[in-house]
Amino acid sequence: MLEHYFQPRTVDRFMASWIGPAIEEYVGWLARQGYARRVVLRRVPMLMHFGEYARVRGARALAELPPLADTFVSRWIKSHAQRCRSKRALKVVRAEARAPVYQMLRVMLPEFAVLEQRAGQSKPWPFEGRVAGFPEYLTRERGLSHETIRQYGFLRYLHREGVCQRDLSRIVDWPRSYRLAEIPRSITMDEVQRVLSGVDRRTPVGKRDYAMMLLLVTYGLRAREVAALTFDDLDWEHDRLRVPNRKAGHSTVLPLSSTVGAALVDYIRRGRAHSTERLVFLHVVPPFRPVGCHDVSSRATFALRRAGVGARRPGSHTFRHTCVQRLVDARFPLEVIGDYVGHRSPNSTRIYGKVDIDSLREVAMGDGEEVL
């Protein structure tokens, strides 16, 4: 397989290495997955560097490579960091070393994929032996999501359960904040149209991103809710969209608009890779894994910046805030809006009521006595 990409002498040099046969098998896998020629040309030399690095440290079998992967990537970054003038450039260098090494190990060593998956799972609660019930309390009594629990304080809980005699939370100096102090970071509908118009819907990634952003701005979905969308959630017969496992702990069934439906159909039929995966949104390059919530947010950020929209902290929540603000401006009751977008607390919706552009404009123009 290597001879399809490299000159005979280069292939001979590769195959003379102890890691050569594994690289050739990996290249065959890349070809079957539809990877571009340029990807193979970049990754094989990096794997040769990794093989030599491992050989010097005594490795002679693939099973001995996983413990060396992290140190190889770290050393590669360190040796090339001087030519990186930005954090973005440093990330590129890291990806150039990490992607081929880790992917080859996943392909060639099934046990490595299992270990990597376990390592990526949530770490155990650090106080499991003393306050094992705290995560359960936050989940069942407080209704918090897993992401929130990982960052949540627990001093009051310790006092409540008798682990601490005093409520230590009272001596913690919290940053001062004021209720409803912030203004939602929404954008105008003209800016939304500018962002959507800037998406190249002729490409698979454009079709996917366009559908994802329509879901964000039309229904006010969170990034994780878009990433978790499955084919089972799309009821084409009744034009309904199901949003399960919302942050508030409930599921929502929403009408599937014709615009969103058309964008989803266009992506699924003409942009989505052929896969048995039930999740709707996939990466556009092999091995076509499902996108995560961070991928949804980063694509939204990219689209906003590319369109030149000056949003504060641009991301997926920019579209969510815009959806809520649009409903507030249309005079929908806050309770209805909260149910629509899945707010857990009424306070999350109430903050949008403080920004009523039309009424403020009337007051500023001097004709707002009736409004006041």
Among 43, 201, 224, 247, which one carries the catalytic annotation? 247
Q: Does 283 participate in catalysis according to the annotation? A: no
Could you report the per-residue pLDDT of 140-162, keeping only the tens digit for each? 666 565 656 655 677 777 777 77
CB atoms within 10 A of CB 73: 20
Q: Does 43 participate in catalysis according to the annotation? A: no
Q: Is 226 contained in some domain?
A: yes
Same domain for 231 and 205: yes
Q: Does 78 participate in catalysis according to the annotation? A: no
Same domain for 195 and 47: no
Q: Is the model's pLDDT at 364 over the cut of 70? A: no
Q: Is the model's pLDDT at 372 over the cut of 50? A: no
Same domain for 94 and 13: yes
Same domain for 154 and 112: no
Q: Give the pLDDT band of residue 371 (cuts 50, 70, 90).
A: very low
Q: Is 322 contained in some domain?
A: yes
pLDDT at 257: 93
Among 222, 272, 299, 326, which one carries the catalytic annotation? 222
Same domain for 223 and 324: yes
**CA dist list (Å): 234 to 247, 270, 297, 365:** 20, 18, 22, 47
Specify whether the CB–CB gap between 224 and 148 falls below 8 A.
no
Specify whether the CB–CB gap between 244 and 229 falls below 8 A.
no
Q: How far is residue 356's CA from residue 360's CA, in Å, rounded to a whole number?
A: 6
Q: Where is pLDDT greater, at 138 or 274?
A: 274
Highest mean pLDDT among 124-138, 206-220, 313-327: 206-220
Same domain for 225 and 104: no
pLDDT at 20: 94
How many domains, in total, are found in the chain? 3
Same domain for 341 and 207: yes
* Lowest-pLDDT range of 16-30, 114-128, 160-174, 277-291: 114-128
Among 208, 272, 299, 317, which one carries the catalytic annotation? 317
pLDDT at 80: 87
Closest Cα partner for 93 from 103, 102, 105, 83?
83
Q: What is the pTM of this model?
A: 0.62
Q: Is 365 contained in some domain?
A: no
Q: Does 80 participate in catalysis according to the annotation? A: no
Which residue, of 85, 119, 153, is where some domain finishes? 119
Q: Is the model's pLDDT at 360 over the cut of 70? A: no
Mean pLDDT of 165-192: 71
Question: Kind of pairing, strands 234-235 and 240-243?
Answer: antiparallel
Could you report the per-residue pLDDT of 228-250, keeping only the tens digit for each? 999 999 999 999 999 987 775 67
Q: Give the pLDDT band of residue 112 (cuts 50, 70, 90).
A: confident
CATH number at residue 305: 1.10.443.10
Q: Is 113 contained in some domain?
A: yes
Mean pLDDT of 343-365: 60
Q: Is 127 contained in some domain?
A: no
Could you report the per-residue pLDDT of 182-218, keeping only the tens digit for each? 556 778 899 999 999 999 999 999 999 999 999 999 9
Q: How far is residue 121's CA from residue 362's CA, in Å, rounded to a whole number?
A: 53
Same domain for 305 and 258: yes
Q: How far is residue 31's CA from residue 350's CA, in Å, rounded to a whole number?
A: 54
Q: Does 317 participate in catalysis according to the annotation? A: yes
Same domain for 167 and 100: no
Same domain for 354 and 255: yes
Among 272, 320, 321, 326, which one carries the catalytic annotation? 320
Same domain for 101 and 38: yes
Q: Where is pLDDT greater, at 108 or 249?
A: 108
Closest Cα partner for 321 from 358, 352, 359, 354?
352
Q: Does 49 participate in catalysis according to the annotation? A: no
Which residue, of 59, 91, 119, is where some domain finishes? 119
Same domain for 350 and 240: yes
Q: Where is pLDDT greater, at 339 or 192?
A: 192
Residue 138 belongs to domain spanning: 134-171
Q: Is 179 contained in some domain?
A: no
Mean pLDDT of 50-78: 92
